[in-house]
Amino acid sequence: MKKELLFSGIGGQGVITLGETLCDAAIKAGYNVTFVPFYGQEKRGGRTMCNIVISDGVESPIISEADIMLIFDERSLHDYQDLMSPDGTLIINSSMVQIEPTVECKDIRKVPFNDLAVEVGNAKTANVVAMGYIAKLLPEIPYEIIKEKVADSFAAKPKLIPVNMEAIQKGYEL
């Protein structure tokens, strides 16, 4: 098994946290995982992107083509859509992205993650809704492990665990 993933957004949207949490889950599921973050030089509001490779063996940490790409803002779509595998899944946060993708990709999903997060009751959970959505596309990593790792990431703020569990379930059931 080898999956190449690219998540990109603006600093503060939580795509890096999402990526790290998914990596933790993939490791627990027994895979080799590399995670490479890329930051803009600005401390706030800059580009945050990560390459994740989940595989059985040692692989390049730099991806060739994304099997799953998660796009949280318009500039990310513009910058990275060419790295999409034609057979992969391009997930666009339609709450934030109005422009149309130009890349040839059979499977494009537009999901309003921010609106769904508001429905859950906490606008900050958009990335966790996305995690649930991605979990469904990665059956190799047991959903229970992903949920456990999301809960672990809120260990310091246990009050937030229930709403985030609701958020991940919302994404998973879409």
- Tell me which residues touch other proteins (CB under 8 A): 20, 23-24, 27, 32-39, 41, 58-65, 83
Rounded Cα–Cα distance for residues 75 and 150 (Å):
27
Nearer to other proteins, 37 or 112 (CB): 37
Nearer to other proteins, 43 or 159 (CB): 43
Nearer to other proteins, 64 or 102 (CB): 64
Q: Whole-number minimum distance, CB 151 to other proteins, in Å? A: 17
Burial class (CB in 10 A: 0-12, 13-18, 19+), 168: buried
Q: Whole-number minimum distance, CB 157 to other proteins, in Å? A: 21
Nearer to other proteins, 9 or 171 (CB): 9
Q: Whole-number minimum distance, CB 59 to other proteins, in Å? A: 5
Name the DSSP class of 101: P
Rounded Cα–Cα distance for residues 11 and 13 (Å):
6
Q: Whole-number minimum distance, CB 49 to other proteins, in Å? A: 11
Residue 24 CB-half CA count within 13 A: 17
How big, in percent rounded to 5, are the helix, strand and coil portions of the chain? 40, 25, 30
Rounded Cα–Cα distance for residues 174 and 161 (Å):
20
